[in-house]
Amino acid sequence: MDERKRGDVAVPAIGRGMGGRPGGLMGGPMGGGPMGGPMARFAPGEKAKDAKGTFRKLLRFYLKEGKSLFVVAVLLIAETALSVSVPYLVGRSVGAMADGLGFGAVDSFAAILVAAYSANWAIGIVHGLIMTGASQRIVKDLRNAMFDKFQTLPLAFHDTHTHGELMSRLTNDVDNISSTIAQSTTQLISAAIMVVGSFSVMLYLNAYLALTALITVPLVILLTKAVSGRSRRLFKAQQRELGKLNGMIEESIAGHRIVQAFSMEGKVVESFGETNERLRRNAVLAQIWSGVLMPFMNVVTNLGYVAIAAVGGTLVYRGLASVGVIASFTAYSRQFTFPLNNIAGMFNNLQSALAGAERVFEILGEEGEGPDPEGAAEMTDPKGDVRFEHVTFSYVEGVKVLDDVSFEVRAGSKVALVGPTGAGKTTIVNLLTRFYDASEGAIYLDGTDIRKYRRDSLRTAFSVVLQDTCLFTGTIADNIRYGKPEATDGEVVEAATLAGADAFIRRLRGGYGTEVSGQSDNLSQGERQLLAIARAVLCKAPILVLDEATSSVDTRTELSIQRALLRLASGRTSFVIAHRLSTIRDADVIMVVQGGRIVESGSHRELLALGGEYAKMHESQM
């Protein structure tokens, strides 16, 4: 590619669009993410995993609390053994009365029953406390894993998901899992042990009656299978609509001024009502389908009682069983069928929890930015030499946003990127900071391919000021030192002064200790932008990126910021994205980006003399 020198910048010759036409293919950021990017340019995400796969993933978090769960299982076995012994003792009491042994024997059995119930109660309290602690630690691990995942997901993911929907997954869906873990786990384990224990004793007492009790099992399985599949889909739809509702709430609150400015309150309320109605409808259907299970289970239980009574009566009549055995079996049949009903009933909660867990594991299963390559270099003492070599990039496969872009920037140079919205200016910066990786070509920093640096190390070379400022809950001083937590108060004041923010900060009642938050309105947009500039000043990174950094301030403040930025940019490589050409006249080189290519390059005077795209832009603004 032909190049001509301009100061310290190697400037590419004027490019042409695809098919030989200037401009070429349009595409690129139109806003949306922190550094640009519409949701429409990305492919849709993957669908949720199946219930079995979700359960296996959830089980891995359970196994982290293996010791606690083992203790709970031992206590549950002891509790179940005591529960299983009760019908046997009742049967022995009835048998003692029938055999005429007197009230002494009955009193002995009664004392044993009281002791068994008391021990059962104590064990229940202990395993409940242990399981509560374990379940909350499991949920804590889930929240931590999900929040950690948010930090490692690429910008493309955050550009395609609303904040409210992601918050819903981290709060509502995880809480849904939490309630199920706390309530259902011990019940499920206890029910399983109770079924096995009760059936073992029943088989020991009378094999005929034990086999009779089994007729309820296939009925329970068939009913549970028929209902659970339908209810799971409805619970999943309910969680999905809840996520949409949270997204709408977050958007309407954040954009409340715009809603009122365009008198869209009625439309917002109507849209909210429609989503809320869909949520209500799915929730009602989910509860109906899950609620029909227990009445059917009661019918099955009663059928089991009838079968045992009929068979038991016949066995007593033929002398194959005693009255005491039948009395024990009546209690055991309840102990056998009641846990089965509980297990079936717990599927209501389990289906809801699995629906939430699917959405949680969708996030955990997303591909992050990926690990750094083996042997990735640590950036030390970066200078700021930047080179793009035949870089091509697409957000969506087949739609090029940058097309064969090449240029070189020497350390300490100031480069301005101008052009129409969506031309690819912000994309160049996104690739340089590795928020995305180039589809083709390579980008070099100080002569090394940036993909060979560790990401976190690479990004320490950049100070970034975006058009959309972001403040975090805390003091003004905390926000300024966000990128350099160890900075002293003196350094914070120095950075604020250099950015032109010190004067307005000192006018605030709390000064540098004034509390602010990301969504607070106690600061103007211009003041918030000054704080963002001060944050970048404090980092003292060798490469400065300004993406419309002065777009929200008045002309007088802009001039003050320009003087501050000139001091800040001294000795640093600067990339300035601007629409107001008055802010970049002093740039060493101005690159006009259009259709994913650099169509013009040169100084302010040279581009005006050229009479091309830059001259037209300048004329339209002047």
Q: CA torsion, points 457, 463, 467, 473, in degrees to nearest 10?
A: 80
* CA–CA distance, 544 with 181 (Å, rounded to integer): 49
* CA–CA distance, 274 with 269 (Å, rounded to integer): 9
Rama region for 384: left / alpha / beta (φ>0; ψ in -120 to 50; rest): left
Q: In DSSP terms, which residues pair with 16 in a beta bridge?
A: none
What pLDDT was estimated at residue 387? Answer: 92
What pLDDT was estimated at residue 33? Answer: 38
- Answer yes or no: are the C-beta atoms of 359 and 176 closer than 8 Å: no
- Answer yes or no: are the C-beta atoms of 13 and 3 closer than 8 Å: yes
pLDDT digits (tens, 9 = 90+) for 59-97: 787 788 878 888 888 888 888 778 777 766 766 666 666
Nearest to 33 by CA among 162, 136, 132, 142: 162
List phi, psi (to 5°) of 285. Answer: -65, -40
What pTM did the predictor assign?
0.60
3-state secondary structure of 413: coil
* CA–CA distance, 338 with 346 (Å, rounded to integer): 12
Residue ranges of the chain whose pLDDT lies below 50: 1-49
- Answer yes or no: are the C-beta atoms of 533 and 550 closer than 8 Å: no
- Which residues does 157 contact at the CB level (< 8 Å), separation at least 6? 366
Both tokens of 215, joined, read 């007729």
* CA–CA distance, 448 with 371 (Å, rounded to integer): 18
- Answer yes or no: are the C-beta atoms of 255 and 168 closer than 8 Å: no
Scanning the structure block, which residue is given the tokens 């994309």?
427
Both tokens of 563, joined, read 């003087």
Hey, how many other C-beta atoms are within 10 angstroms of the C-beta on 80? 24
Residue 596 exposure: Cα atoms within 13 Å on the Cβ side? 20
